[in-house]
Amino acid sequence: MITTGLIGDPVAHSVSPAMHNAAFAHYGLPDRYTLWPTPAAALSGRIAALRAVGMRGANVTLPHKTAVIALLDELDPVAAAVGAVNTIVRLPDGRLRGLNTDVAGFLRALAQAGVDAAGRTALLLGAGGAARAVGYGLIMAGVAALVVANRTPARAAALVDDLRTSAGPATRLTATALDDDALGAALAEADVLINATSAGLHAEALPVPEAALGPRLLVVDLIYRTTPLLRAAAARGARTQDGLEMLVQQGALAFEAWTGLAAPLEVMRAAAHVALKEQV
């Protein structure tokens, strides 16, 4: 019985079905999670179908995370602040509520790596949807200073402006260009480096000066596999984490919102790992 799925375009390479179907099976539930490839013109119809009795909800990915908001009945405060929804929950009366579990998923992944962002200094690469969720997560966790660096600097500046409305007055927020000479200095001061750009899996050049990577850093790459950046960081003694843990954590929060059951994290993590390996 299909009760959940992933709405996006494209969705073919997602490991979410493996992860959620393993979680449903763990509880002996008849639910299935499927892929719903959805071009923009089909989005409103797809969302309307979630209102049917028996549906639990959906995940939403590129390019619909913002556009979907207008089709929902209510938003949780985090999704409203970020301006993006990655999870829809069908309420018992058929109304649809939008959540953003990427934010808490990122923070839980950080915690899994042993890092509490409170009072820390972070360098965030990217200013797209994922960077936006990470930026809000870091602000919510009480980061002391955050530099956002992006290929298109105007987008970094726009994200920093948005984050300012949620940040405390003492939080130092800076926007810069990815190729700015100051990036090395920003990295030298950082406790955490997060790559939230979609570049990097096969990139020849690292997005930051390699010499500034060192043992004091946690380096997170939201890409699901080990990247050249993570390899270089590990070689220089930094702790590293790829994007799979954030994916699992945001999925676990979605599962809990749909079912009210504790997410079987180990089961979901193992299923995601296997599905990702099968794609190689």
Measured from the CB atom, the residue of 130 and 229 that comes closer to ligand NAP is 130
Residue in 243, 255, 258, 259 binding ligand NAP, rule: CB under 6 A: 243
Measured from the CB atom, the residue of 51 and 239 that comes closer to ligand NAP is 239
Residue range at the interface with ligand NAP (CB under 6 A); choices 7-15, 116-124, 240-248, 254-262: 240-248
With beta carbons less than 8 A apart as the criterion, state whether 243 and 224 touch: yes
User: How many residues interact with ligand NAP (rule CB under 6 A)?
Assistant: 23
Q: How far is the CB of 79 from ligand NAP (least distance, A)?
A: 14
Q: How far is the CB of 207 from ligand NAP (least distance, A)?
A: 7
Q: How far is the CB of 268 from ligand NAP (least distance, A)?
A: 13
227 binds ligand NAP (CB under 6 A): no
273 binds ligand NAP (CB under 6 A): no
Q: How far is the CB of 241 from ligand NAP (least distance, A)?
A: 10
Residues 144-173 that bind ligand NAP (CB under 6 A): 150-152, 155
128 binds ligand NAP (CB under 6 A): yes
Measured from the CB atom, the residue of 152 and 189 that comes closer to ligand NAP is 152
Measured from the CB atom, the residue of 21 and 250 that comes closer to ligand NAP is 250
What span, in angstroms and rounded, lies between the C-alpha atoms of 20 and 175?
Answer: 37
3-state secondary structure of 70: helix
* Residues that bind ligand NAP in the complex, under the rule CB under 6 A: 62, 102, 126-131, 150-152, 155, 178, 196-199, 222-223, 243, 246-247, 250
